Amino acid sequence: MKPLDRLQIVVPELSEKGYCVPVPVYDYAPFGAQLTRSGQPCYTSSTSGLPLFTGKERDSETGLDYFGARYFSATQGRFTRPDPLLAAGQIANPQSWNKYAYAFNNPLKFVDPTGLWNWDTSAGGNSTDEELENRREDKSLSRKDRGAAGRALKFRANFRAARDAAERAANASGDASAQESVAAWGSENDQNNVMVGVGAANVPGSSARVWLDKITDTIFANFNPGVHGDFLSVTIGHEGRHVGDANAWLETHCAGCSTDLNHLVREQRGWYVGGVLGQSLNMKSVAPVGGGREYQVWNRGWAKADQATIDSNRNAGIDRIMKYKPPSQTDTYSTEHSHRP
């Protein structure tokens, strides 16, 4: 959730799309019911689909606002479908258990933006940075609780910075797969289906882990807190490839379709993106934790070679990684899931 500074949304200039100016200004009740309209609109076509309450599109026939994962009724102050993130309820926040509620029933403080990832409890959950900072400084709390708040804040800062760096590197590379992988994370806290947190340290030699829950269709991403900087950026790209691939399959739940990837293909795609980002970031090398030169998907010494040679070296490294601990070629998204929508 992000703080809502004001309850007035200005429709942007759309003259290039057939609209003209001046544009109208709308005021809203807390949950989005339209109160007044000022200005002199002179649209030359329908206003259906224009960004209105918190920048969302309002359907002219139903009056519902489109939030990506589901529709919202401003008159009722409720979503029309339950939260697809079934694991979002938190004992400390009773409002989080209402799967139809908007912004924890507190729209004067929060909005529910479009994006993808949410912080899981290991990264502070639904607490804002300000709330975590207050908990870190609250002497009435135990040292354990204050430390957890501090670690969550540090992880959030590292993740945000590394993701921004990964985005810049992906754009600089011009590689579509790398760009899609970083973009797959979206923005923060939309209460959708990607939970980002800390936990990969429990897996020896692992920098991160992404998995798709078999029951709720929630995508979990846990990162080793010891990974930071460029290595975290590369890891975010690698794991972002898995997030994007999982979301692509979730759109249809189609067994045997092109999106129903097996473990081998998923890892090949992830390591390819990691190599591309390592190259764009001009890192010394990129390889699995503890892996030697034969497992590298990028080495700064390759920069003197042409791109065809770099690609050949990268593919050779990926092949060796796959042969070292061969991922399954039979376990696909559909075989791993015990349900269909």
Q: Quick one: pLDDT at residue 140?
A: 94
Of 285, 280, 284, 293, nearest to 321 by C-alpha is 293
Q: Quick one: pLDDT at residue 43?
A: 41
Q: Quick one: pLDDT at residue 241?
A: 97
Q: Quick one: pLDDT at residue 36?
A: 57
Q: Quick one: pLDDT at residue 286?
A: 96
Following CA atoms 298, 303, 306, 311 in sequence, which dihedral angle do they give, to the nearest 10 degrees?
10
Residue 125 within any structural domain of the chain? no
Tokens 């290595």 map to which residue? 231
Residue 120 within any structural domain of the chain? no
Residue 288: C-alpha distances to residues 40, 269, 321, 331 (Å): 60, 14, 8, 22
Residues 145 and 109 in one domain: no
Residue 235 within any structural domain of the chain? yes
> Which residues form the domain of 268?
132-336
Residue 148 within any structural domain of the chain? yes
Q: Quick one: pLDDT at residue 29?
A: 78
Give the relative orientation of helices 307-324 and 263-280 as an angle to the nearest 10 degrees. Answer: 140
Residues 257 and 197 in one domain: yes
Q: Quick one: pLDDT at residue 40?
A: 47
Residues 215 and 280 in one domain: yes
Residues 16 and 146 in one domain: no
Low-confidence ranges of the chain (pLDDT < 70): 1-27, 35-55, 67-70, 81-99, 102-116, 189-192, 200-205, 338-341
Residues 94 and 8 in one domain: yes
Residue 6 within any structural domain of the chain? yes
Residues 169 and 311 in one domain: yes
Residues 89 and 186 in one domain: no
Among candidate residues 114, 143, 158, the one where a domain is terminated: 114
Residues 97 and 167 in one domain: no
Among candidate residues 85, 114, 143, the one where a domain is terminated: 114
Q: Quick one: pLDDT at residue 15?
A: 43
Q: Quick one: pLDDT at residue 116?
A: 53
Nearest-angstrom CA–CA distance, 326 and 322: 5
Which of helix, strand or coil describes residue 90? strand
Nearest-angstrom CA–CA distance, 22 and 248: 40
Residues 208 and 61 in one domain: no
Q: Quick one: pLDDT at residue 94?
A: 61
Residues 91 and 149 in one domain: no
Q: Quick one: pLDDT at residue 9?
A: 36
Residue 124 within any structural domain of the chain? no
Number of domains the chain contains = 2
Residues 178 and 85 in one domain: no
Q: Quick one: pLDDT at residue 77?
A: 79
Residues 99 and 171 in one domain: no
